[in-house]
Amino acid sequence: MPRKNFAASGSAKGLRTTSASVAAIGAALSIAVFFIGRYTGQHSARAGGTELPAKSIAVLPFDNLSRDPDNAFFAEGVQDEILTRLAKVADLKVIARTSTQKFKSAPENLPDIAKQLGVMNILEGSVQKANDQVRVNVQLINALTNTHLWAEIYDRKLTDIFAVESDIAKTIADTLQAKLTGSEKQLMASQPTTDTTAYEFYHKGRSLWEKRTGDNIPKAIEFYEQAIARDPNYALAYADLANAYVLLPYYTGARRSDSLAKAKEAALKALQLDPNIAEAHVALGKLNFFNMDLAGSLREYQRAIELKPNYATAHQWFGNDSLVSLGRFDEAIAEGKRAVELDPLSPIINADLGITLYLARRYDDAIEQLRKTLVIDPTFFYAHYNLGVALQLKGDLSAAISEYEKAKQLSDDSFAMALLGAAKGLAGDKNAAEQALKNLDQTAQDQEADEYSRALLFLSLNNKEKALRSIEKAVAARDGSSLTWIKVDPLLDPLRGDPRFEALVQKAIAPK
């Protein structure tokens, strides 16, 4: 699967061996400001050369003041629900939780954090839960002036937590003078479930899903399923279950066809319960992309962005999937940059922008972007091997091989190993390419065959005929995860001009 086209701030199964990435956070925070996007609001302030829109906010982690450490998941859930409601407001810029989680709940260096995240305002809070009671303490701060804009303490029954979250989000929007449409007000006030136990199961699953390491995806699936068992009408739990199944094959040995079938079933169930669940539309967008249905993919991503304008993953996949596959490079890059603005410290979102740039043949920009990604997380093998691709396309094969070697050291990812074998083949080591082909044959005994990797290896051996046959097999199997980029992929340039290949391109990207 080319570049693995990973999902939602994650990476692939090889990341099971690379969970040490936390060590890179300190470096990430010191440099993130220089690739924060240029998004600006109607009124903004300049801080250290960065425009900070007035209608922008980051919700920092909430302190868990409960005696039970298990309630940390509940505190995360309160933070996440407030953020999710705010993310549905088009007139606000809202930073994703994967970036805000890098910070403490009540840091002293608010101006620095604001600049790094590209926002003017920060929400701090704490949660204390005891039996059926909950206390939520929040304060909204202008981070540049350290002005407290609003603060409140909510002492409520646990069953009232959803009303509290909705009220906090609505008050923040009003305080920042964000314009709200009628539909946005409805979406902000919606109650995802009435079952507080299901709510806690869901947020345990979501917290694990965001980590993208070890066995966290299968564990997240278990918690989502427990949430659904408690509340069979919990649409958001079905939607995130769908996205977990979308990712599952790329973290584990799960068969892609089985996982994607379960993802589709869960996404459709979510939309049956609530057609306005952005996360379900995103899952269907990715599934359509994998099925080579670019028109369907575009439609679902656009709908997700309409419903949740600050949804970083929707912008990421819209750009890196559908738009770039059709050669709509300016739009694809704009979507990728928007995703980075909304989730500036996400390794996968930054890396996917780098991929979009080299698919657009902007190799210098791609190399710069992927190197920035590796400052965030030097252990991110996905960024290493995509940097290798950009360097190879730029013409620096030895530097590319070095990056592929680093990716191989950090993971057991089969595509990274295929890239390494192909690069060595191009450099004259045909034995390395042939051995990589044998390794792929052994891997395919347990998983679906990766015909794209085979095609690259055959090209490195100057065997265009076998490369074409591999591409034909992938297209026949509708393996969009490997070949939907076929129209624009520079690695397949040796086949361009061959009538059989051009016919395959048209078949892969034709409207469905």
Give the per-residue pLDDT at 231: 98
Looking at the predicted structure, is the pLDDT value of residue 253 above 80? Answer: no
Mean pLDDT, to the nearest integer, of 358-369?
98
Looking at the predicted structure, is the pLDDT value of residue 70 above 90? Answer: no
Between residues 48 and 166, the one the model is more confident about? 166
Give the type of residue at 432.
A
By the 8 A CB rule, do 11 and 347 touch? yes
Between residues 22 and 59, the one the model is more confident about? 59
**Least confidently predicted of 228-242, 283-297, 332-346, 469-483:** 469-483
Between residues 15 and 476, the one the model is more confident about? 476
Looking at the predicted structure, is the pLDDT value of residue 18 above 50? Answer: no
The phi, psi pair for 124, rounded to 5°, reads: -110, 155
Between residues 36 and 194, the one the model is more confident about? 194
| pLDDT tens figures, 458-469 | 999 999 999 999
| pLDDT tens figures, 127-161 | 999 888 999 999 999 999 999 999 999 999 999 99
Give the per-residue pLDDT at 289: 94
Mean pLDDT, to the nearest integer, of 72-88?
92
Looking at the predicted structure, is the pLDDT value of residue 121 above 50? Answer: yes
Looking at the predicted structure, is the pLDDT value of residue 497 above 60? Answer: yes
Query: What band does 283 get if pLDDT is binned at 50, 70 and 90?
Result: very high
Tell me the percentage of the chain whose pLDDT exceeds 70.
Answer: 88
Query: What band does 489 get if pLDDT is binned at 50, 70 and 90?
Result: very high
Mean pLDDT, to the nearest integer, of 387-414?
96
Query: What band does 367 get if pLDDT is binned at 50, 70 and 90?
Result: very high
| pLDDT tens figures, 416-444 | 999 999 999 999 999 999 999 999 888 76
Between residues 253 and 396, the one the model is more confident about? 396
H-type alpha helices, 14-137: 25-31, 72-86, 97-100, 110-117
Query: What band does 376 get if pLDDT is binned at 50, 70 and 90?
Result: very high
Integer Cα distance of 377 and 21 in angstroms: 6
**3-class secondary-structure state, position 356:** helix
Q: What is the mean pLDDT of the chain?
A: 88
Mean pLDDT, to the nearest integer, of 291-304?
96
Q: What's the CA angle centered on 59, arms 58 and 61, to 5 degrees?
A: 130
Give the per-residue pLDDT at 62: 94
- Residue 211 half-sphere exposure, CB side, CA atoms within 13 Å? 19
Give the per-residue pLDDT at 207: 87
By the 8 A CB rule, do 461 and 436 touch? no
Looking at the predicted structure, is the pLDDT value of residue 496 above 90? Answer: yes
Mean pLDDT, to the nearest integer, of 77-100?
95
Give the per-residue pLDDT at 28: 42
Integer Cα distance of 52 and 226 in angstroms: 41
Looking at the predicted structure, is the pLDDT value of residue 163 above 50? Answer: yes
Q: CA dist 237 to 51, 177, 222, 392, Å? A: 36, 31, 11, 42
Give the per-residue pLDDT at 478: 84
Give the per-residue pLDDT at 254: 82
Between residues 60 and 50, the one the model is more confident about? 60
Mean pLDDT, to the nearest integer, of 11-19?
37
- The answer to whether the pTM exceeds 0.75 is yes
Give the per-residue pLDDT at 512: 64
**Least confidently predicted of 4-18, 397-411, 474-488:** 4-18
Give the per-residue pLDDT at 330: 98
**3-class secondary-structure state, position 231:** coil
Angle at which helices 294-307 and 278-290 pack, to 10 degrees? 160
Give the per-residue pLDDT at 50: 64
Spell out a b/e string for 87-119, using b for 16 or more CB atoms within 10 Å of the CB, else e: bbbbbbbbbbbbbbbbbebbeeebbbbbbbbbb
Domains of the chain: 40-190 (3.40.50.10070)
Measuring CA to CA, which residue among 88, 95, 80 is closest to residue 125? Answer: 80
Looking at the predicted structure, is the pLDDT value of residue 81 above 60? Answer: yes
